[in-house]
Amino acid sequence: MQRLAEKLLTAFQLTRLSLVFGAIADVWFIVIYTRSDTRYDLLPAFEMPLAIDLVTAALLAVGLFAFATSLNDLLDLRHDAAFSPARPLPAGRIRAGQAVVITIGALLLAIAAAIPFGTGGLVLAVLAATAALFYNATGKYLPAIGVITAGLVHVAHMLIPNHEMAFMLPVWLIFTHVLVTSVIGYQLEGKRPQLTLLGYTGILMGWVFWSVVILGLGAQRDPMGYFLPGELGLETLVWPILAIIGFIAIAWWKVGPVKGPHGAEKLRRYAAMWHGVYAVAWFAAVGLWHATILMAVFTVVGIATMTLLKELTSTDPGMVGYRV
């Protein structure tokens, strides 16, 4: 029994599943919102029973997350042997062959879980996995490209249950949240190559371009409502704005005094937790109060579970979503 527990903890360390709840919150938001809008009544996410919908979306999130994180450890084995020797692979707690099996298995799980969401969802799942592969193999060595790629992985992953989504502000907020916290975490950790003025300019230009694409797609799909559902006004934005202010305050309080890799790890952990808070805020904003309560409970449970898993697997700085 003890040996089994050790193997499970090692697998959790390899896949960083202590931070997967943010990814689950993202797809659960899309699933529940989709089911509340009859415009999407022909989509599988609308037609499936709620329990199956949520379980399938959770498996999808876990699969993509575990694929990206375990792939990162495989590709970074030599680097981790020098700079993070306590990680499962360089420490010898898991063999490279076993990590390959976990990586491939996680990818297959994600693809299988995307199939019930239809062809559009399956295509987005493949795109998200491909972008995660590009990030781990190349993008992370080019900071300006890497952080944009990480944000786009979240966008593709989030839209798998509903590739026709018109309410794109929540998707844009997650994209922006991931991008900003990635840049700050990169700087706190002192990674190489350092971000230059040209790099910051590239990130800003990439954010502007993809913001126009994401929000423009929503406006094109719902010309009457533009960025918000048609019956809602700008006062709807009060809840998400409060969530943004709350994250800034928490990050400043918890991370501000802490520098270096430990500060970056704390920032990424709180950033991952906050995906659920954003989902709660958006549900409250659009008046879906049952969904607000459900997501609030999930977020509290998720934060508690993330904290417990972090204590049990605390040999490595965490990461936002897909190994940013």
What pLDDT does residue 315 have? 45
Q: What is the CA radius of gyration of the chain?
A: 19
Ranges of residues in the chain whose predicted pLDDT is under 50: 315-324
What pLDDT does residue 317 have? 40
What pLDDT does residue 154 have? 96
What pLDDT does residue 15 have? 64
Residue 160 within a domain: yes
3-state secondary structure 16-84: CHHHCHHHHHHHHHHHHHHHHCHHHCCCHHHHCCHHHHHHHHHHHHHHHHHHHHHHHHHHCHHHHHHHC
Residue 321 within a domain: no
What pLDDT does residue 260 have? 81
What pLDDT does residue 221 have? 86
Q: What domain range is 250 assigned to?
A: 9-312
Residue with tokens 């800003």: 204
CATH of the domain at 169: 1.10.357.140
What pLDDT does residue 87 have? 73
The total of structural domains in the chain comes to 1
Residue 93 within a domain: yes
Residue 51 within a domain: yes
Residue 322 within a domain: no
Alpha-carbon gap, residue 310 to 324, rounded angstroms? 17
What pLDDT does residue 3 have? 65
Residue 293 within a domain: yes
Residue 4 within a domain: no
What pLDDT does residue 230 have? 61
**189-242 per-position pLDDT tens digit:** 888 888 899 999 999 999 999 999 999 999 888 766 556 776 666 778 899 999
Residue 41 within a domain: yes
